[in-house]
Chains A and B, each alone.
Chain A
Amino acid sequence: MPEVIGRSVPRADGPGKVTGQTLYTADIEHKGMLHAAILRSPVPAGKIVRLNVDKARQMPGVKAVVTAADVPNVRAGWALFDTPMFARDEVLFEGEPIAAVAATTLAQSRAAVAAIELEIQEIPPVGDIDMALAAGARLIHPKLAQYGSVPGIVFNREGNVACKYAYEEPGVDEAFARADRIIEDTYDFGRQYQGYLEPKGTVVQYRDGRYTVQSGHQYVFNLRDRLAQFLQIKPSDVRVQGMAIGGGFGGKLDFGPEPYAAVLAKATGKPVKLIFSREEDLLAATVREGARVRVRSALDKDGNIIGREFFTDHDNGAYSGELILMAGLALMFCRGVYRTGPIRTQFRLIYTNTSPTGAYRGVSGVPMISAIECHMDHIARELGVDPRAYRLAHTLNNNEKLPNGQMLHDAAILMEAYAEIEKIAPWEEMKRTKKPLEGVAIGSTVWLTNPLPASATVKLNEDGSAHVLSGTCDIGTGAMAQGVVGIVAQTLGLDPANVHVVQPDTDVAAYDGGSQGSRTTRAVGRAAEHAAIEVRQKVLDAAAPLMQTEAARLTLSGGKIHDIEDPGKAIGLTDILMMGAFASGPIVGTGKHAEQPIPFDPGCAAGLAFPTLPTPTYHVHMAKVAVCPMTGNVEVKRYIVAQEVGKALNPQGISGQIQGGVAQGIGYALHEGLRVKDGRYMERSLEAYRLPLAVDIPEVEAIILEHPADEGPFGAKGTAEPPIVLAPAVIHNAIYDAIGVPLNSIPLTPENILEALERRKSA
């Protein structure tokens, strides 16, 4: 039996996806199923003056039309309860749901939506964070102070600020007062749409007083809880069955179409399918937030950073989702991975009359880390020193702390990552061989892993195969299809082809924190490893009497139980399962995982949702770009990643994640762009919102570094989320190197680049 761990075992769910056999939510058909459509606000802000659904109710095929009048008058939310299911008296963003229709066909429900009489008295929208923060700005949530929230977390809210967090170490002002020079930058970051292949969709049934929800979803328990809040029922009255998911990238962690389909299913007594059109999905997606980061460093005469200010403002949109939990990142990332002297940091999440924002791979950390890395290049250039050398001279070492007091025991891995890249792309040579308008850049960061708990059950079948039950899906990373399968196969000595993962189901599995933040392989993997170890012990216990020996002398591998002291003696696993099951009962193991508390500084981090995050991993990225003088377009000529992963359970899977994350980071930097004008998106389709294509992205050279983590599974750490986080800054800095001026905003449009080139020419 070859080792499973460390080998590039092909993923179990690959062939089905490639050949089209995999069933997605859109493929579901139930008898009598109705099709739903949503009426959304056509304006970013206004009062609903008239809403009449009588005519729509009379339309052919229409079975139900529901509005705010038909649902509990509550506000729900992941952490801060500010979101109504339907707009009641006022609309706060373009695309906000106002009514929903179920009809026999989709055409009928769309026609009925168009027949709803809606009159809105428009109000000038608070369209961006500047307007929201301006003195005398209209309050988007006048009753903000009264909203409920999850216990245990402090949200300082005021005006249009949903959450403000600030902290400073002693000595910041003194550092700036005695600084030899002060360097300040303000960076603007645009929104980014997750752009998954499968728009959000659901099928909901209401039967025997319970809702059954089928959705391709990243976090079925969160969805269950949100439905319970909106519908004012017990979470256990909702069953969420996860379907195969056509991508999510953070966009499918909260509710989407589900509450609307649920209300319609109850109203009609029929299964209701609601699939967003692409335009609708884009309009209502909880995209990566726009942000503005101001970072200011005090330098002494040797160029050391002796003080740092870091102010980061994030656009919440009209309602809160996950971002309100991210305040602590401003503390963890304000220093980057460099020594800075004392820090002053502030995070604000600001309401605007725009579509609500949310998680996208590298949640809220992308703008923060981008700002730090762009600022580092600026400092180096201002000092006239090489940006790589400047970083190396100030990079944190082992056992230095992040500002939250969390110890980085192994930060020296960063040096190893620089050294590995140096072997294949020597920096001086990269610089020397640049042609005009080519640029190179390098950057580094730490990234952390989502800490939510996990559980898994492994059941061994009579034929010697195993099923793994958990509450999370394979979001597409292979974390379940390759990672967890591999962990269980290795532990039980099974062929990975004989280990199957079951789609998540809130009725079946225990609580799980969902497929997010690089946690699945690590957290679910550890739970599954514990479960598999229990299974293995039970197998050996069942085999011992049959082999007339003690369990301690037995091992399980290659589908057989062997006696260590008598190698000739072995019994087949299936024999045990057939015979043993009579005596011992079916063999099932369960496991769980919860993070051990990480020491931190309570003085600064108390009250934060995440004062610390587990398993720091270390990353160095390098890029070479060429700027076209005719168009201002940028071609990424070379992209190299050195990433610490703990242990590469499946190297091919990790390379795939690195390629994908970098592609999204390059896309964010160069191609995508979701501009907001007067509260509305300017890009409203995938024709206008330009996701990068395969031809736009180079093949990423991935160097995988392994420092196995003690706490397992098999040493693995969180891997899939972070490849995105450095790419925007590294691309920005490479362009900075190519054209000699920083652009200080992302995306980096050909317009801005060409304009900068013109400026340079005339200067």
Chain B
Amino acid sequence: MSPTRPLILLPPSGKRQVTVMDFIYAQKLEEALDALRSQAGRAKVLAGGTDLMIQIARGEKQPQALIFIGQLKDDLATISLSQDGYLNIGALVTHRQICADRHIQANYPALATASASVGGWQTQSVGTLAGNICNASPAADTIPPLLVHEAVVTVQSAARGLRDVLLEHFITGRRQIAIENDEMVVGITLAPPPADTADAYLKVGRRKAMEVAIAGLAMRLTMAGPETVGELRVATCATGPVSRRASEVEALFSGQKLTNELVTQGASLLGRMIQPIDDTRASAEYRKLVIPKLFRGAVLECLAKLGIAISGLEKS
């Protein structure tokens, strides 16, 4: 059995109740899964806690138990490469680990950039990639790059074992994910990118760190010829309730010659597709203005990484 202790938290200002919950230290993956099963929906998994503890302190979430998985580093804190080039990122891998990983830097630099922009050094040191996607904030930085790389999420339960879900299906809504009460995420897998592919993640914030994205955009561009697009994938965050790929925009590009007009067309279509809101961070209007610019910026960055120069492509 995992050791359990009561955890007592102060009420937030203006709230009456003191929060008391069970704090379960899982020592093994099986213990965490058993605890999830026996708690039957009473519990939340706690990884780095950089989202969950704040939500509890604000009274937004009130789980009766927390299952702390931070001890399961041997099982879950590794990044491993399979023989056929698939990259598996364990559920406890932190953003710091991701930005420091050579393979990720070389093959999925957009993900490394996104992880390097999550909060600051402290949040990156304890915050996990799995936590970022499970929290499913519309502004989560790592979701757009994971979407353009078609990441697969592996979840596990004591009752049914392992199950794979495409990230696109895993995130079902604003702060909503397709996971059962007794399941937890154990890893995230990325397929090797094809040849002649580059990616980019561009984030808008008012500061250089500690910024929840005002807007973010990830792109993966695969070229089929010197000026011909094989496939362009694009996903944005903080531009609507859920981060999604913009398939209409992607369709415009596939197999097409990359021209300034096409980029302009794609950028403005993307700007029309997004449904941003006004919030304290920025106005919807600003987001509508900035996203097409990020789109063009991402195309240019991908081309620069591929060493391709296309004449007539305007900078802004």
Contacts and interface: CB of A to CB of B under 8 A. Distances in A.
A682 B282 CA distance: 12
Given A114-B15, A671-B207, A690-B206, A107 B10 contact: yes
A322 B77 CA distance: 55
B16 interface: yes
A58 to B, nearest CB: 13
Given A671-B206, A690-B211, A751-B286, A630 B16 contact: no
B82 interface: no
Contacts of A749: 206
B83 interface: no
B280 interface: yes
A631 B290 contact: yes
Contacts of A107: 10-11, 18
B120 A693 contact: yes
Residue in A106, A279, A630, A754 whose Cβ sees the most chain B Cβ within 10 Å: A630
Contact of B13 (A110, A633, A690, A751): A110
Contacts of B283: 751
Contact of A693 (B11, B16, B207): B207
B63 to A, nearest CB: 19
Contacts of A420: none
A755 interface: yes
A111 interface: yes
A131 to B, nearest CB: 22
Given A114-B15, A114-B16, A630-B294, A692 B212 contact: no
A4 B294 CA distance: 55
B311 interface: no
Nearest to A59: B16
B88 to A, nearest CB: 32
B67 to A, nearest CB: 25
Interface in A628-662: 629-633
Interface in A658-710: 670-671, 682-683, 687-688, 690, 692-693, 695-696
Nearest to A38: B13
Contacts of B315: 629
Contacts of A113: 13-14
A630 B280 contact: no
Contact of B290 (A683, A693, A695, A754): A754
Contact of A696 (B208, B282, B293): B208
Contacts of A682: 280
Given A630-B294, A633-B206, A37 B13 contact: yes
B50 to A, nearest CB: 12
Contacts of B14: 110, 113-114
A754 B297 contact: no
Contact of B10 (A110, A632, A692, A696): A110
A693 B208 contact: yes
B191 interface: no
A695 B281 contact: no
Nearest to B10: A107
B185 to A, nearest CB: 26
A609 interface: no
Interface in A77-117: 106-107, 110-111, 113-115
B212 A687 contact: yes
B286 A750 contact: yes
A695 B208 contact: yes
Contacts of A750: 204, 206, 214, 282, 286
B308 interface: no
A367 B260 CA distance: 44
B81 interface: no
Contacts, number: 83
Interface residues of A, number: 33
B209 A693 contact: yes
B16 A111 contact: yes
A670 B293 CA distance: 21
Contacts of B10: 106-107, 110
A73 interface: no
Contacts of B210: 690, 693
Contacts of B208: 693, 695-696
B280 A683 contact: yes
Given A106-B10, A683-B280, A758 B207 contact: no
Contacts of A575: none
B193 to A, nearest CB: 25
A280 interface: yes
A750 B204 CA distance: 10
Contacts of A751: 282-283, 285-286
Nearest to B280: A688
A631 B296 CA distance: 12
Contacts of B286: 750-751, 754-755
A277 interface: yes
Interface string B285-299: 110011001101100
Nearest to A677: B280
30 contacts: A37-B13, A107-B10, A107-B11, A110-B11, A110-B13, A110-B16, A111-B16, A111-B17, A111-B18, A114-B15, A279-B13, A629-B293, A630-B290, A630-B297, A631-B290, A631-B293, A683-B280, A688-B281, A692-B207, A693-B208, A695-B207, A695-B208, A696-B207, A750-B204, A750-B282, A750-B286, A754-B286, A754-B290, A755-B286, A758-B289
Given A277-B13, A280-B13, A690-B206, 20 more contacts: A111-B17, A111-B18, A629-B315, A630-B296, A630-B297, A631-B204, A631-B293, A633-B205, A633-B206, A670-B206, A687-B212, A692-B207, A693-B207, A693-B208, A693-B209, A695-B209, A750-B206, A750-B214, A750-B282, A754-B286
Interface of B: 10-11, 13-18, 120, 202, 204-212, 214, 280-283, 285-286, 289-290, 293-294, 296-297, 315-316
8 closest pairs, A vs B, by CB?
Answer: A114-B16, A630-B293, A695-B208, A629-B316, A751-B286, A111-B16, A688-B280, A107-B18
